[in-house]
Each structure stands twice: as structure tokens, then as C-alpha cells.
Structure 1
Amino acid sequence: ALARPRDIVRLADGDVIDLEAGLVRRRIHSRDHIMYGFNGQYPGPLLHVPEAATITVNFTNSIPWPTTIHWHGLRLDNASDGVPGVTQDPVEPGGTFRYTVHFKDPGVYWYHPHHREDILKDLGLYGNMLVEPRDPGYYGPADREEFLMLDDFLMAGDEPMPFGEERTTHAFMGRFGNLFLVNGEPNYELEVTAGEVVRLYVTNVSNTRTFNLSFEGAGGRPPPRIKVIGTDVGAFEREEWVESIVLSPAERYIVHVRFDEPGEYTLLNRIQGIDHLGGVFFPETDTLGTVRVVAAAPADAETSGAPAAFDTLRTNLPAAREIALYRDQFDLPIDRELTFTLETTGIPYIVQRLMRFDSAYFHPVEWSGTMPMMNWNSSSQEVRWIVRDPATGAENMDIEWEFEVGDVVRIRLHNERRSFHAMQHPFHIHGQRFLVLARNGVPNENLAWKDTVLLPAGTTTDILLEITNPGRWMAHCHISEHLEAGMRMLFTVNP
């Protein structure tokens, strides 16, 4: 049978759910392919839970790879974090594991493998989690909610581009796809009523692509206004109007959109590519889907108050008050630093020369795969991505940071510009949360709690890490191929 669209599973505190990673059949451009999914669904079930709930997940692995489930962004018990070799052994084919999953914070989260995720996640093992705030007005009023999981998949003609069984391929830039997917399907479609305020929970589940998401009206219609409400671990201090939403891999954003006029609107990924060898920029626009807006019937008179409230930018007082408790820490000295770079060995001479020539300029964000053959030929045998502690010289899994519960740590993150192929890194920290204080010395004026931050090439980013959760935790680049090529570290939090 074909993979089914995801179910919405509403769970209460103390509930139990079974999740099985198994084979599914996917139809892409009229051809069937065997891929992976949770519970026969693609994406996996959407878990809808109340804030502060704890559930039990009985996991069964029915795929031919060992795997785990990582509960991305949750501040849960360390033993259930799903990191093989750190918090648990990989679940072998046919094996089972029981996770205790606690949902401490409101927000939108997601689950995915943490073993060879360059393959297993890319083939469909991912799903969303929505943690409903205790306060029903936390995000402000909306008429409906929609969940968008953004992905891309790399096809070679009518077949998926082969993966590397022993080691990751595409190690330089990550595996950019050429088939765009929303909720696992190309050509996403949504129908809404004119005047409705739609809350979109948007998650980037791609291996490497950073999206720049926007809408465009057909026939000269103006695009709808987009209001940013929240991100990874809850709400921003203040709502803001934006023209587009930039999401690096693993980031989430919560936005409100109101389509005022009937008609069609396209959901776009609009970016600027670069021809590395020619040294020229070119625009790229990818169509992800279509929103059809139908006229409101007279019976659909406004009842929610959402359309009127949409025109006002409000301050989220609970979020702002909580963040205010940490403002006296914002200007303290830097406690720790990390540098992001890479090393190469055994790269063919012609590739070395081309890459050196190319290094005269790098996009702060590599938006698309403009060097596909050089990228495909690079594996984790030739490319080693590095996170380095400049204070000690320790790299990747040799870094030994130690904290105590209750610490608040200011960390400076340097993404080295003068490396062999500088590239952005979406940096994810397990089990804790942090505030992005500044980029290149410019303070961030509107804060929200995060678990993943985009580090453009050549930039310096300051974060304030709140240490609340004991255990051994991983931090890593969330470009799947960079993770597999070494860019990961551990830190210990003592009770």
C-alpha cells in the first residue's frame, strides 16, 4: 500500500503510543519507490500534546538499518534523547526501545533518527510534535492551523540519487535535493477562506537546504502579510511583520498569514544563487505549492476576532517577562567559544584548484547546490567538518565541556570565513535552550528561546545558553552530511 498522509494523534499526560519505523511505498511522478515512514505514514504522525505532559513511546525498528528516535528541541530526560552511543545503543532491525518523552515547553518540535540521518531522515523518517500552551491566548487568535514540513529530495532522472552505504556522500555542501516536498508531497495545495487568519507551523526537515519562504499573488494580487509569532521553543517577545521566513535545517517558525482577496497564491522559495566559477549571481525561485482562497459566504461572518487582531502587533507578555529575567546576563564576558571550519584529505588536484579559486567569495548562506558533481564526489573520508574549542584546541568529540544545572553560559560561535569551503551551519544544542543575543556585535532586539541557530559563513554569533537539564548532551551542525562528517561534540551537565 502507498504511504498514508499523517494522522493527528491527540495525547494526554500519561498516554502511551506505538511508533514503528518501517518500509512504505511512495509514488513520485507516477513511479513507485520503496522508502521509510513511521506507522506507514509520510510524514509520521503529528503528536499533539498539552504543555508539561509526559508520554511513553514504544518504538519498533522494522527497517534494515539500526536507528533511534531523537525528540528534537525537547528538554526531556537524557536517557530518552535518542543519541546512539551516548544515551542509548542503536535499536537494531527488529528491536524495540521505550522512550519517556516530556514536553516542558510550548512550541512546535519534531522527531527523527539520529543514526545515519543523511539516509534515514531523507527517506522519510520524520514527524512533527505540537505542544499546546497552557494559556490558550499565548500565540494570539487564529481561525485555523496548518503544519508545513519543508523538504527536498535528490532524484537522478526517475530514480533517487544513490546514498553512500559506508559513509556519507555530498560532504562538502550537503545533499541538496531537486524535488521540493511539503508534508512529503510535491505541489502542496491548501484551500482557505478569504479573511481567515491561518497559523502556520513551519519546520525545515531537509538535509542541507536553507529555505526563504514567501507567498506571491497571481494576476497582480499583492502577497498576504506575514506576521512572525514564534520559533523553536516558544513565542518571540514581540510580533513582527516580515516579507519572508528564512529557515535553516531543523529550525521551526510559527507565523500568522491572512489572505484578504480570493484567488490563487503560490508558496515560494525565492533565493539568490551563485555561479562559483563564473562569479555571478542569479535569482532562483522554486514553487512549493499553491494556496487557493475562496470568497467567504455570508454565513461565515467573523466570530473568532482573529482577522481584527491580526492588524495589531502585540507584545507577548509571558515570553517577554521570562526573557527579562536573564537580561542582567546579556553583557557579561564570553564564557566559551567555538570555531567552525573544515579539513580535507585526498581531494583530487583539479577539485582543490577549483575550490581555491572559488574561495575568493562565499555566500554567507549557500542557498542551492551549484557544484553538484564536486559535491557528490566528496565523502566523509575526504572531508572532515570541525567544531573546535579555541581555548584548548580540542575538536569535535574530543571537546570536554562541563556545566552545572543552574549555570547560564555566554558562548561565542565563529563560523570561519577562510576555510577551504566556508559554509553556513545550523547549530543545534540538545536538551537545553538558548537566546541569540547578537550577530557580528549587533544586538538582537527581539528574542525567543531557540534550540537551533543559523550561523552564516564569516559571522560571529553570541548566544546565552540556559543549563537546566542534567546528562551527557550532543551539540552539532544539523546539515546531515556535516554531522556525519564529524561536526559534533558532547557536553556534560551535572545535577
Structure 2
Amino acid sequence: MRVLRRRWTAALLAAGLALLAGCSSVGPAGPAAGGGDGAAPVDTAGSEMATAPAILRPDANGEIRLVAKPARLEVAPGVEKEVWAYNGSVPGPEIRVKQGETIRVRFKNELPVPTTIHWHGYPVPNEMDGVPGVTQNLVKPGEEFVYEFKATVAGTYMYHSHQESAEQVDRGLYGALVVEEPESAYDRDFALILDEWTKAGESNAEPAGTGMDHGSMGGMSGQSSQGTEAQGMQGMQGMQGMQGMQGMGDMPGMSGDTNHDGMGSPQDMSMPMHTMQYDIFTINGKSGSLVQPLTVTEGERVRIRLINMGYLRHDLHLHGHSFTVVARDGQPVAGGRPLKDQLISIAPGERVDIAFTADNPGTWYLEAHDAGAAAASGMKVAIAYEGASQQTDQPNETAQLPVVDLLNYGQDEQGPFTLDQEYDVQYTMELGTGMGENGVIYTINGKTFPDTPPIRVKEGDLVQVRIVNRSPTDEHPMHLHGHFFQVLSRNGKPLTGAPVIKDTLNVKPGEEYVIAFRTDNPGNWVFHCHELHHAAGGMVTQVLYDGYVSNVQPEPDARPE
């Protein structure tokens, strides 16, 4: 953990005052691009332009090779960004393996800073999980590390940096991991990664004129979190027009649109400052006309794996076709009813797989219908039928459409857990937003990591967790490493439909969920918000197995948020 060296509180106040004054600048220009706190400057002189992500399978020796290094990326027409890329592409290569294969990834770090790789959603052995200071030591510049694990569970996953991840992921260190079933039921299979970028600034980590370091936004400081959400607010009171900042991390007086389901949305004007900066929305690293179409042939069965690697929830609309949801967070959904002209909502860290039959020749869009200030124009991809010569569709991203309730969907059947069974461990996780000594903090049970109370377990325990979001406007997509969990209830009502098995659950303001899981993967595992700025601000805890001994050595530069 670290002491914050940048005055985020002052930057936040300056941002709020500038917004109230109608100014576009929120503070003095920040340091040169490349600066996480204490990070080496990034020299991109001579960096190559990033390429389109390739599909990468194990070589003849059973290995997959990844190299992280600086590059440049055209994210939108005429907009280039300095990025950090795996194998020269953003996203990184789409890693595909067959279920049952051993995944062996030889990773080399050619960045100017240390890093790691986390295999998001996958139940890897603890020492392969990629969390610095918790499950492994840092991979320093010039070093190599070999990740190895068995591909036991088919589905859609992803990989990304877990060192200063709010910054390193923002710079482009992420990719798709697809574990294929032995036999596919589909003729076409596409993976689409959603993300957000900024036009301003050379890199995505610190837009010009903000003076903010996204990797330094809050209480991951090594100091005690010193308690509650109200802390540090006294100095904020009495400022004209700033009352809306009391007790929350959002900007003053900015409450606005709600999303299509009536719940508060981070895409409206209640967004925190760091998310308000995003103004380019990408699919596989490209926006608008740069997004490559998906080619299909009439009669084919098509699977699209939607992956949200950004920091905003996105609502996707498939034009011109009925479809079904076939997986949530990589786990299959049986008996889903056909859907048409309804939105699929995907929060940060989540994955949703949809399937359809290509039975309507022409060119059709799959596009975001996000609401409010961050409406994601440019986050659209054309589905183009081979041989179809005419444009049959137009974007309609402003249309308000119903959102599918993915937690009550599919064939109703019994899952592995129930609400009324006996549990060995029960834990209540209250999520909050507030102000600390160094700025905005995001808390679990009133504390920021590393002072958050852990979930202590033994191997074989049945664990029930009650998650409550006390934040006034922030959504918190909570992600558990190393395990799948079943979602049992929302706001006191048991779920219906196919059992909801996930690793990431979006908890909106005021919502309450009960989840359950079995401790079948010994180790020390983090459980955190996957809006990674919130994790950087303290919203992290751990699941700690009794008797597990880690070989990780303490490192002052390890920042596992």
C-alpha cells in the first residue's frame, strides 16, 4: 500500500468548483504521461502502432507467449493514445484453448513499471491469480513469469493487469480468455471487449488538464482508513454549492437521468469525476467507423461474447434478430426465452454471451444504448451478411428500450445453494462512498483496504454473504477471485429461473443481495469492486483460508488494487 502523493482532495474540490463555474479545465496540468504514483515516465518515441488483436492458441510446445510493452493506438478516427499493450495490440490477443487443456503462458514485462496478469473469473490455483503482494510477487521490467493452470471450466473470461489496475487497465493491459467446449454448437464465435477512453491527453490514464492520477484515487495508502464515510467531510461543509459532496464521492448537484430500469446509473450526471472524463467508447479498442464488422452467412448459428473491461455499465441492443442469453460470466444458462429489441446490461467485469440464428440478411447493428451524459456513441459494430449488398439498418442508440432482467432468466431449476440451508460462515458486506483524509474513499463495512474485515474460512465451508450498497449513487460490481458464487436473492426476494452462477455482481445504490459459495480453492483471495477506481479507493477485502501459507514476499511497490 502507499501514501498518496497527489492531493486528490484538492483536485476534487477544484474539479467541482470548475464545473460549477462552467469551466472545462478542472485544475493544473498533471505530470507527464506514464505516471502512476512513483511510476517511471513512459517513452513512446519509436513505439509501434498497435495492431488488431489476434487469436492466440498454444504453440507446438503448449505455450502461449505474451509480452507487455508500450505502443500507440488509434482509438477513434484521428485520435491516437499512448498505450500499454500485450503483443502489440489493445485488447491483447484473444487467448483460446480447449476445455481440458493446460494453459501455460510465458509472460515477459517490457514496460517501464512492474506488472502482473490476473485471469479474471477463472478458478486458477492461488499462486497463479496475479495479485501482487497477495498471490505473487511483481513481474518487474525485463523479467518473465510463467502462469500455468488447467482449463477445467469452459466459458468467457478475461485477463488483465492487477498491479495499479485502475491505471494499467486504463492504458490497455487486458484481453479475452475463451475456454472452448470440446464441440461447438456455433458456426461463428466472436468476442467483443467494451471499454472507455478519453480524447484529451496523450494516454488514457491521465487526461490533459485534470491533474488527477486514476491509480491514486483514494485510501489505498497503507494508513488506517480511520473509520466511517463521514470522515474528512468537515472541511467540505460551508462551501457554497458544494453540499452535494457531503458523504459521497460524486460531484455536486449533478443528479440527473436514471437508466432504463429506473435505477441510478453511472452513465448519468451523477457520475464521479473520473468516469465523467470518458468520451470515447470502444469495441475491441476501436470506436465508430474503425470498428471492424462481424461477418456472418445466412443460416449460421452465431455466438457473441460480450465482455466489459471498462468502468461504466453498458446496455447493448442487437438489431434485426431474436436472440437468447446462453451464458453469464462464462457459466451456461439453460432454457433462456428468445428476446428481441431488449437491452443486455453489462457492468464492469461482467460477461454475457448471446446467441442467434443469422436469418435476416443485410447489415445490422449491435450498439450501446447508454443513457445520460456518457451516452456511448461509437460503441457499435455492424453485423454484415456475406453477399448482402444493401444497408438495411440505421443506428438508434437514443431509443429507450426495456432492459432484460438477467437474474430472473432461463429454465427454473434448483441450484447448488438455497437461502434456508445451514452455512458455516455468514458475512455482511456493506458498501459505502465517502471522503477520507486523501480524498474519496470506497468502503467495506466502514473501512478501506487493508483494514477491511476479511472473510475467514476453512476449506469445504459453505459461505453466505449479504451485500448491501449504502452508496448514494455509485454502483459497485463486486468481483470474487478464485470462486464462482450463486446469487440467491435480490432485495429480499428469491431469484427465479436458471441458477445464477457468477463471479461478478453489480450492486446498485440501495440494493441488497445474498450470495453463496463453497470454499473449494485454498488460498488468499481478494473480493473487490471492479469499478477499479473504487478498488483503488479502498473497496477491497479478502477471503482467507485458515492454515494457508503464502510464499509471497512483501514488496513496497506491490499495489494489488
Q: Does TM-score exceed 0.5, indicating one fold? A: yes
| AA in 2 matched with 1:403 | V
Q: How does 1:65-84 map to 2 (within 5 A)?
A: 65-84=113-132
**Alpha-carbon separation, structure 2, partners of 1:466 and 1:12:** 35
CA shift for structure 1 position 395? 5.2
Residue in 2 aligned with 1:250?
Answer: 349
Kindly indicate whether the alpha-carbon contact (under 8 Å) linking 1:428 and 1:452 is maintained by their aligned counterparts in 2: yes
Kindly indicate whether residue 282 of structure 2 is the aligned counterpart of residue 181 of structure 1. yes
SS in structure 1 opposite 2:372? strand
**Alpha-carbon separation, structure 2, partners of 1:31 and 1:429:** 35
Residue in 2 aligned with 1:211?
Answer: 314
**Alpha-carbon separation, structure 1, partners of 2:543 and 2:296:** 46
SS in structure 2 opposite 1:253? strand
Q: Deviations over 1:137-196 (max 9, x none)?
A: 6xxx32211110111112228875147458535975343521111111112222323343
Q: Deviations over 1:313-345 (max 9, x none)?
A: xxxxxx989x84624565557821100002214
Kindly indicate whether residue 504 of structure 2 is the aligned counterpart of residue 460 of structure 1. no
Kindly indicate whether residue 456 of structure 2 is the aligned counterpart of residue 402 of structure 1. yes
Kindly indicate whether the alpha-carbon contact (under 8 Å) linking 2:282 and 2:378 is maintained by their aligned counterparts in 1: no
**Alpha-carbon separation, structure 1, partners of 2:473 and 2:283:** 29
Q: Deviations over 1:270-313 (max 9, x none)?
A: 13337xxxxxxxx946342242443669xxxxxxxxxxxxxxxx
**Alpha-carbon separation, structure 2, partners of 1:31 and 1:273:** 23
Residue in 2 aligned with 1:326?
Answer: 416
Query: Percent identity among equivalent residues?
Result: 29
**Alpha-carbon separation, structure 1, partners of 2:215 and 2:385:** 49
Residue in 1 aligned with 2:525?
Answer: 473
Kindly indicate whether the alpha-carbon contact (under 8 Å) linking 1:192 and 1:291 is maintained by their aligned counterparts in 2: no
TM-score (norm 1): 0.77
Residue in 2 aligned with 1:117?
Answer: 165
**Alpha-carbon separation, structure 2, partners of 1:241 and 1:118:** 37
Residue in 2 aligned with 1:154?
Answer: 198
Kindly indicate whether residue 513 of structure 2 is the aligned counterpart of residue 423 of structure 1. no
**Alpha-carbon separation, structure 2, partners of 1:12 and 1:159:** 33
Q: Which has the higher contact order (CA 8 A, sep 6+)?
A: 2
Task: Give the 3 Å change call, closer, same or farther, for CA 69–457 of structure 1 in structure 2.
Answer: same
Task: Give the 3 Å change call, closer, same or farther, for CA 491–442 of structure 1 in structure 2.
Answer: same
**Alpha-carbon separation, structure 1, partners of 2:480 and 2:489:** 17
Kindly indicate whether the alpha-carbon contact (under 8 Å) linking 1:3 and 1:24 is maintained by their aligned counterparts in 2: yes
**Alpha-carbon separation, structure 1, partners of 2:493 and 2:355:** 27
Task: Give the 3 Å change call, closer, same or farther, for CA 164–63 of structure 1 in structure 2.
Answer: farther
Kindly indicate whether residue 481 of structure 2 is the aligned counterpart of residue 384 of structure 1. no
SS in structure 2 opposite 1:114? coil
Kindly indicate whether the alpha-carbon contact (under 8 Å) linking 2:287 and 2:378 is maintained by their aligned counterparts in 1: no
Q: How does 1:39-78 map to 2 (within 5 A)?
A: 39-78=87-126
Task: Give the 3 Å change call, closer, same or farther, for CA 462–125 of structure 1 in structure 2.
Answer: same
Residue in 2 aligned with 1:18?
Answer: 65
| AA in 1 matched with 2:365 | T
Task: Give the 3 Å change call, closer, same or farther, for CA 159–471 of structure 1 in structure 2.
Answer: closer
CA shift for structure 1 position 198? 1.2
| AA in 1 matched with 2:93 | P
Kindly indicate whether the alpha-carbon contact (under 8 Å) linking 1:12 and 1:50 is maintained by their aligned counterparts in 2: no
Residue in 2 aligned with 1:491?
Answer: 543
Kindly indicate whether the alpha-carbon contact (under 8 Å) linking 1:259 and 1:293 is maintained by their aligned counterparts in 2: no
**Alpha-carbon separation, structure 1, partners of 2:386 and 2:142:** 52
**Alpha-carbon separation, structure 2, partners of 1:166 and 1:196:** 43
Kindly indicate whether the alpha-carbon contact (under 8 Å) linking 1:344 and 1:384 is maintained by their aligned counterparts in 2: yes
Residue in 1 aligned with 2:303?
Answer: 199
**Alpha-carbon separation, structure 2, partners of 1:202 and 1:292:** 14
**Alpha-carbon separation, structure 2, partners of 1:101 and 1:435:** 24
| AA in 2 matched with 1:230 | A
**Alpha-carbon separation, structure 2, partners of 1:493 and 1:51:** 28
| AA in 1 matched with 2:538 | G
Kindly indicate whether the alpha-carbon contact (under 8 Å) linking 2:317 and 2:343 is maintained by their aligned counterparts in 1: yes
Structure 1, unaligned stretches of length 5 or more? Answer: 217-222, 275-282, 298-318, 347-380
Mean alpha-carbon deviation: is it higher for 178-187 or for 443-452? 443-452
| AA in 1 matched with 2:172 | G
**Alpha-carbon separation, structure 2, partners of 1:115 and 1:295:** 43
Residue in 2 aligned with 1:263?
Answer: 362
SS in structure 2 opposite 1:428? strand
Kindly indicate whether the alpha-carbon contact (under 8 Å) linking 2:126 and 2:524 is maintained by their aligned counterparts in 1: yes
| AA in 2 matched with 1:261 | N
CA shift for structure 1 position 85? 1.0
Kindly indicate whether the alpha-carbon contact (under 8 Å) linking 2:188 and 2:296 is maintained by their aligned counterparts in 1: no
CA shift for structure 1 position 436? 1.0
SS in structure 2 opposite 1:271? coil
Residue in 2 aligned with 1:308?
Answer: none
Task: Give the 3 Å change call, closer, same or farther, for CA 167–448 of structure 1 in structure 2.
Answer: closer
Structure 2, unaligned stretches of length 5 or more? Answer: 1-47, 219-248, 251-271, 389-409, 549-561
**Alpha-carbon separation, structure 2, partners of 1:12 and 1:239:** 37
CA shift for structure 1 position 69? 0.6
Mean alpha-carbon deviation: is it higher for 481-490 or for 253-262? 253-262
**Alpha-carbon separation, structure 1, partners of 2:378 and 2:80:** 23
| AA in 1 matched with 2:318 | F
SS in structure 1 opposite 2:176? strand
Task: Give the 3 Å change call, closer, same or farther, for CA 12–455 of structure 1 in structure 2.
Answer: farther
**Alpha-carbon separation, structure 1, partners of 2:56 and 2:317:** 29
**Alpha-carbon separation, structure 1, partners of 2:217 and 2:198:** 12
Kindly indicate whether the alpha-carbon contact (under 8 Å) linking 2:132 and 2:162 is maintained by their aligned counterparts in 1: yes
Kindly indicate whether the alpha-carbon contact (under 8 Å) linking 2:82 and 2:203 is maintained by their aligned counterparts in 1: no
**Alpha-carbon separation, structure 1, partners of 2:375 and 2:381:** 18
CA shift for structure 1 position 124? 1.0
TM-score (norm 2): 0.68
Counterpart among 143, 160, 167 of residue 187 in structure 2: 143
Residue in 1 aligned with 2:53?
Answer: 6
The two structures, once aligned, show a CA RMSD in angstroms of 2.8
Task: Give the 3 Å change call, closer, same or farther, for CA 442–328 of structure 1 in structure 2.
Answer: closer
Kindly indicate whether the alpha-carbon contact (under 8 Å) linking 1:151 and 1:181 is maintained by their aligned counterparts in 2: yes
**Alpha-carbon separation, structure 2, partners of 1:439 and 1:261:** 37
Kindly indicate whether the alpha-carbon contact (under 8 Å) linking 1:75 and 1:103 is maintained by their aligned counterparts in 2: no
